[in-house]
A and B are shown apart, each in its own frame.
Chain A
Amino acid sequence: MAHTIETTNLKRAWPTGFKLGPINFTALEGETIAVFGKNGAGKSTFFQLLSGSVDRTDGEIRILGHKMSPDATTLRRRVGYLPQESTLPDWTTPDEILSYAAKLLELSDPCAAVETELKRWDALEWRHRPICKSSHGMQRRIGLAVAMIHDPDLLILDEPFNALDIVNSRTLSQLIRDRAARHKTTLISIHTPLLAAELCPRSILLENGQLSELSAWPDLPLLERASLIETRFFGGTR
């Protein structure tokens, strides 16, 4: 299978002193990977680098076989990215935001794409309501719709389940499984071990800017996977 993500000695340093990497990481086509890590471990920075939102300090990132950088416009359009803080413009409506995103991405049928996403995220009734008057969960759903409207080959979701209700959490889980079935790669930052165990056949851990593979994870049954995470974070034997 082809590599969707391939990083070589990837490093990023921030003026605050935080350093990420060096990271050597590969993700294959169709993989769904859970990314664990404490707050401030570097997950968001890692995701920003992979999506081309920020530039690396050193090393190389190859996405779908091409070099990724903030200037790689065509490549970046094959990646969907939902940041942790997916602030939406005040006083715009879900319909307007999705139409805008569809036009920016130059989709062939923007209206159909907008309808599909609104329907999928149960937002048809709210489509003309200002976003700042909507619930936090609705804003998150519209953020997810923006990240997925072009059905990207690589989808990077930073804590996507935050604020989602039980119905929409199931919708998102189903979408992630569908993507895997269609050989599309998904990276998810997640803090719920059981959910990750259920959705992701592979998982990685970021600690103080360093990435490590949870190599035992793929072979473990669901509950054992969750217990592996508990052990990694809270100690004890396994």
Chain B
Amino acid sequence: MESKPMKKTDLTTDILLPLIKQETRRFRASLGHMLTTGAATIIVLSLFVYIFGDFIRDKLPGVDPALARDTLYLFAVFIIAISAAVTARAAKSILYAKHGWIAMLRTFGLRVDRLRRQSVSAGIVLLATENIIVCCLLHSYMGGFKTSHAVIALLTIPSAVFYWRVRGPRTPAVAHTSHHSCQDTTKDPLFSWRESRVITGSWQGSSLRVLAALPILSGTVSLAGHAPIELALVSSLAGGIILSWTVPFLVAEDLKATWIERQAAVGHDQWIGAWQKIFWGWAKAIFTTTVVLYLVSFAVIYSVPSGASSPKTPDILTLALSKALLGGLLAAFPIWMAPAFIMQIDGRRVLTNIVLLTLIGLFAGTALIAVPYLAPMLYLLHREAHRYQRGRFARGSYN
């Protein structure tokens, strides 16, 4: 019997069309959730601008224009990188998932080299689409930048991020063994199990820790170079919020295999308590580091004579210490608060939780910068949030 020649794959009909259909179905299935999250985000952001708009408008004119431009540059780079990472994540799940289209087409016996070429084409299409969306979003905002800078940024950053994220199936998020053994005499296995996996295992956790250190360091360094204190405080808050993004990644990874804990009758309070204990440790570490950095910056300001007159009043020490403590608090509170909010919607939804934590960080952080005496409110917010999500771990449909 004569065998038919193997059909060549077609980029449009075999890959792009099914992908678009798949994504449309996924979009339709989560439309309600997305609309609710989107509407809530817009409401909370509008509220944020309404409440803190005057305060922000009052403080921004004091910032040096060159410094403001550099900060906007950094922010644009950050937005481009993050959006590329989000697109790459989607592309990776489509292209490399065990039950994805590419895997399925491979089982049909289609030629691997051709599939690979067409996967790259599909990746380029996704990347171009993402770039167009980012360009539209940042159009008015990036108008002040040089065209050549904007073009280089839009060509290089997403490509680099995309390549890094989509280059192929890699090790899972938690990539090291936890070195537990039955002979360990730990009193809190829930905590030690997570701690060993968090500290040594997660590449997302490690990347975000490095990313969070950048704004905190640049803020305090710019403070030493006589930049306004508000800029340093906002940088600390940004660092704190970025660090808190670690929590959604780790918790989502953890929830993939919680049946072991659930069948051992571990309740919500114990489970979330273990995470809270870990991030309380992180919060203490980032608080101490940030306070020390601020104090060093203040020491530089007041010990090195500058052209501008330094405020050499007797209460300089009090002022420096209070600002350093505020900076430390801004950097530390988002990660401390994160476990209290992580199960409010769905612990498995990383992006939703990142948005949620960012909004909470923005709200509470700006309020703290405006009125530092509001700090005790954080405790109340934390306590109430924990109370509101109680039982979600034990009652959810997590595996």
Contacts and interface: CB of A to CB of B under 8 A. Distances in A.
A110 interface: yes
A180 to B, nearest CB: 21
A170 interface: no
Interface string B235-277: 0000000000000000000001101111111110000000000
A154 to B, nearest CB: 12
A68 to B, nearest CB: 11
Given A83-B399, A102-B182, A52 B265 contact: yes
Nearest to B189: A103
B24 interface: no
Given A96-B179, A99-B181, A99-B184, A81 B174 contact: no
B180 interface: yes
B201 A91 contact: yes
B263 A53 contact: yes
A193 interface: no
Interface stretch (B149-157, B347-355, B389-397): B389-397
A87 B256 contact: yes
B175 A91 contact: yes
Given A55-B395, A71-B267, A88 B257 contact: yes
A89 interface: yes
Contact of B171 (A14, A72, A91): A91
B172 A132 contact: yes
Contacts of B396: 54
Given A77-B264, A96-B179, A103-B189, 14 more contacts: A53-B263, A54-B396, A55-B395, A71-B391, A80-B263, A83-B399, A89-B197, A91-B177, A91-B201, A96-B181, A99-B182, A103-B182, A104-B190, A105-B264
Nearest to B393: A70
A74 interface: yes
Given A70-B394, A89-B257, A100 B263 contact: no
Contacts of A99: 180-182, 184
A5 interface: no
A74 B267 CA distance: 11
A91 B182 contact: no
Contacts of A88: 257, 260
Interface string A62-85: 000000001111111101111101
Given A70-B394, A88-B257, A100-B193, A95 B264 contact: no
Contacts of A110: 182
Nearest to A99: B182
Contacts, number: 104
Contacts of B399: 83, 85-87
Interface in A20-70: 51-55, 70
B67 to A, nearest CB: 44
Contact of B263 (A87, A97, A146): A146
A30 to B, nearest CB: 22
B311 to A, nearest CB: 54
B262 to A, nearest CB: 5
A97 B182 CA distance: 10
B186 interface: yes
Interface in B357-399: 391, 394-397, 399
B344 interface: no
A104 B266 contact: yes
Interface of A: 14, 51-55, 70-77, 79-83, 85-93, 95-105, 110-111, 113-114, 130, 132, 146-147
Dominant secondary structure at the B interface:
loop
A102 B316 CA distance: 57
B: contact size bracket: 35 or more
A234 to B, nearest CB: 29
30 contacts: A14-B397, A54-B395, A54-B396, A54-B397, A55-B395, A73-B265, A74-B265, A76-B263, A80-B263, A82-B263, A83-B259, A87-B256, A87-B257, A89-B174, A89-B197, A90-B174, A95-B180, A95-B181, A98-B182, A99-B180, A100-B193, A100-B260, A101-B264, A103-B182, A103-B189, A104-B190, A111-B182, A111-B183, A146-B260, A146-B263
B178 interface: yes
A73 B267 contact: yes
A87 B189 contact: no
A75 B182 CA distance: 24
Nearest to A78: B265
A142 to B, nearest CB: 10
Contact of A96 (B178, B190, B257, B264): B178
A110 B180 CA distance: 12
B172 A90 contact: yes
B176 interface: yes
Contact of A130 (B177, B183, B186, B262): B177
B257 to A, nearest CB: 5
